[in-house]
Amino acid sequence: MAVSLKVMGGDRDAPEGICGYTPSADSIADGLGRSCCWRETWSDERNNSNYCVWHAPVTDKTTDDFGNEYLRERTDWVERLDRAFLRRGEIGAADFRNTTLCNAYMPLADLSGSNFENTVLYKANFGGSDLSDSFMVNTEMRNAMLGGADLSGTDLTNTTIRLSDLERSDLTSADLHGAQITETALDGARMAGAQIDGRTAMLDHSDSLFKIRLCVYDPRHDVGKEGTNDGNTGVDGVAEEETTDKNNAPRAVKAISNDMDTRLNQAANTYRTIENLASKNARPDLQATCYVRRQDIRRRQHTHAAKTSESLRGTISNKARCAFQWLSWATMKYGESPWRVVYTSLAVILLFGLVYPIVGGLTVTAGAPTIDAWQPIGQIPRSPDFVGEVLLSLYFSVVTFTTLGYGDIQPSGATAKLLAGVESMVGAVLIALLVAVLGRRLMR
């Protein structure tokens, strides 16, 4: 099927019978520069253009269509196939080593077993394509679209994938040793049996919730007026009319949603995907980081839901959940930090220890005199007795917090007794949390 073109890049003067296609500057990765295709015009009845077999906007190309242009035996020279058009093509086991495929348009293509070593895939569209068992070592993917692509069994060692779309892609049994996968959408990706190691990076270096850019759900992402990335169009702006293949798999990256709920859900699912992968590859630190960030996203979801809820009940419910999430983060980092539980416990002990003498004082039951309530702040005595009172109050706070209850000191007054009961309950909860957090860490 031939597709009419609207030239975006432009053609340089070339002799008759020469392709002469030249991509636009914004479709080429930085540092590469534009290049003019000097291949022969493809003489095929389906080709209504003067382009070569690589740039001709004809779907369903096969290995036979390429003839001598089919990449099997390659040299070490860099091959320029920028904006190549291979929609629904079938040229499995091709050799794309040392090739630039900037803005290449190859959705739903059969490229299984191909060699992409040292290849540049900048803004390339491989949505729904079969790239299974391919060799993609040292490949650079930036702003690439591989939504729904089959990458099962693919060797992605030392590959850089950034600001790309791997939603619903199949990475089963893929080799990700040393891969750098950052700011990339992995929502719905299947990664069973995928292998990672200590050199594999799947998160950015930011711990701030507001700087999380793992997924490409960022308004600053390069999105066109129609809501799709420039790579979603074919050579010279041919728009793709289909959104899914026959198996309902996404054949290209979807428009970045402006709906906050959708974006947060996608981000949370991406973290879950990496979390499961880290768990299966015995990477507890990565697993813990993804879990914490996923919970941060959940907290942000509750905050957004509280702001947008149309009912008072919904607003109160979401605010309560947000408060609980914040408390969980502050006291134990969602169950990932035993040190936060320890610091919280020390803060509670110190706070109650300083409050007891203010609200009623303490009574030593072993024959010693009562420790009366302190004077007003401006009249607190600065003497060894004052220091002793503070230390004794802190001692009482410790035994109350740990629910030991030695009985040698009792709170004086109703308020002090009420605070002692509250501290006892808080202490029991925090001690239980510390045991749970330590158990969670040890089991991981």
pLDDT at 8: 37
What percent of the chain clears pLDDT 70, i.e. is strictly above it? 77
Higher local confidence (pLDDT), 200 or 246: 200
**Span 13-48, pLDDT tens digits:** 667 888 888 888 878 887 787 888 888 889 888 988
Mean per-residue pLDDT for 391-395?
A: 88
Region 95-122 average pLDDT: 93
Query: How much is the pLDDT for 283?
Result: 87
Task: Give the pLDDT of residue 317.
Answer: 93
Tell me the average pLDDT of the chain.
Answer: 79
Residue 423: pLDDT over 90:
yes
Three-state SS sequence of the chain: CECCCCCCCCECCCCCCECCECCCHHHCCCCCCCCCCCCECCCCCCCCCCCCCCCCCECCCEHHHHHHHCCCCCCCCCEECCCCECCCCECCCCECCCEECCCCECCCCECCCCECCCCEEECCECCCCECCCCECCCCEEECCECCCCECCCCECCCCEEECCECCCCECCCCECCCCEEECCECCCCECCCCECCCCCECCCCCCCHHHCCCCCCCCCCCCCCCCCCHHHECHHHCECCCCECCCCCECCCCCCCCCHHHHHHHHHHHHHHHHHHHHHCCCHHHHHHHHHHHHHHHHHHHHHHHHHCCCHHHHHHHHHHHHHHHHHHHHHHHHCCHHHHHHHHHHHHHHHHHHHHHHCCEEECCCCCEECCCCCHHHCCCCHHHHHHHHHHHHHHHHHHCCCCCCCEEECCHHHHHHHHHHHHHHHHHHHHHHHHHHHHHHC
Output 88 or 233, whichever has higher pLDDT: 88
What percent of the chain lies above the pLDDT cut of 90? 41
pLDDT in tens, 309-351: 889 999 999 999 999 999 999 999 999 999 999 999 999 999 9
Give residue-wise pLDDT tens across range 227-258: 333 434 444 434 344 444 443 333 333 434 44
Q: Where are the domains of the chain?
A: 261-330, 338-443
Q: Residue 76: pLDDT band by 50, 70, 90 thresholds?
A: low
Residue 2 has pLDDT above 50, yes or no: no
Is pLDDT of 82 > 80? Answer: yes
Q: What pLDDT was estimated at residue 408? A: 76
For the segment 255-310, what is each residue's pLDDT rounded down to a tens digit?
344 477 787 888 888 888 888 888 888 888 888 989 999 999 999 999 999 988 88
CATH among 1.10.565.10, 1.10.3720.10, 1.10.287.70, 3.30.70.140 for 338-443: 1.10.287.70
Mean pLDDT score, 380-404: 78
State the pLDDT confidence band at 404, using cuts at 50, 70 and 90: confident
pLDDT at 87 exceeding the cut of 90? yes
Specify the pLDDT at position 218: 32
Q: What is the mean pLDDT of residues 362-386?
A: 55
Say what the pTM is.
Answer: 0.66
